[in-house]
Amino acid sequence: MQFDAHTDTWPDDDLTRVDHGTMFYKAVKEGIVDPARSVQVGIRTQNDDTLGVNIIDAREVHERGPVETAKKIKSILGDNKTYLTFDIDALDPAFAPGTGTPVWGGGLTSAQASMMLRDLAGINLVGGDIVEVSPPPSIPPVPPRSPGGPMWRWRSCACGAGPGVRGGDPAGGAGRVQ
Ligand SMILES: [Mn+2]
């Protein structure tokens, strides 16, 4: 399960090379992930070859809403072991400007991401990461909670929505894992 503005499936058949835009091409080609049980959420760049991976692009998230999107994600993942990779550029630059390859406009809001991650509680999550967090010096520092927010929700996703989660702000800025 990948939250991202980019699919990171650009073709590169040199399997000895690691690149931040091609790793999922290689993961599919090497059979590390099952594309039919994989999903990319928040995509808003074009890549004609999906390699069979399910894509819920940013527009679909906006049209469907976070609650229904989370249900669709769950239906794709099923009970399979799931790794979550959250590229911070899935969020609109208005919410997370500090990243290496920002994509202007139309990205997910922090509230949408927070609600989806919370609603994904119960999936068979085995690990995860947050990538591409890179506050450039030319903009004001990103408040520490901004990149930390998805990680916090990731924990709620892994641990189940506890009382501290359920009572929290749906925008996900503040809160505690209890
Ligand atoms: Mn990206």
Q: Please give the Cα distance from 84 to 117 (Å, whole number).
A: 10
Report pLDDT for 68. 98
3-state secondary structure of 166: helix
CA of 56 to the centre of ligand 1 (A): 14
In words, the CATH class of domain 2-159 is alpha beta
Mean pLDDT of the 73-80 span? 98
- Residue of 176, 150, 149, 152 lying closest to 164 (CA atoms): 176
Compute, in angstroms, the gap from residue 90 CA to the centroid of ligand 1.
7
What are the residue ranges spanned by the domains of the chain?
2-159
**Ligand 1 centroid, distance to 140 Cα (angstroms):** 21
Using the 8-state DSSP alphabet, how is residue 90 labeled? G
Q: What is the pLDDT of residues 4-19, one digit of tens each?
A: 999 999 999 998 888 8
pLDDT digit string, tens, across residues 121-149: 999 999 999 999 987 655 555 554 555 56
Neighbours of 120 (CB within 10 A): 24
Q: In the predicted model, is pLDDT for residue 2 greater than 60? A: yes
Q: Is 65 left (phi over 0), alpha (psi -120 to 50) or beta?
A: left
Sequence-distant (6+) residues with CB within 8 A of 3 are: 40, 41, 42, 84, 85, 86, 87, 90, 108, 113, 150
pTM equals 0.80
**Residue range 28-53: average pLDDT?**
95
The Å distance, Cα 101 to ligand 1 centre, comes to 6
Nearest CA to 8 out of 116, 90, 97 is that of: 90
Q: Separation of 121 CA from ligand 1 center, angstroms? A: 24
Residue pair 149/133 in contact (Cβ under 8 Å)? The answer is no
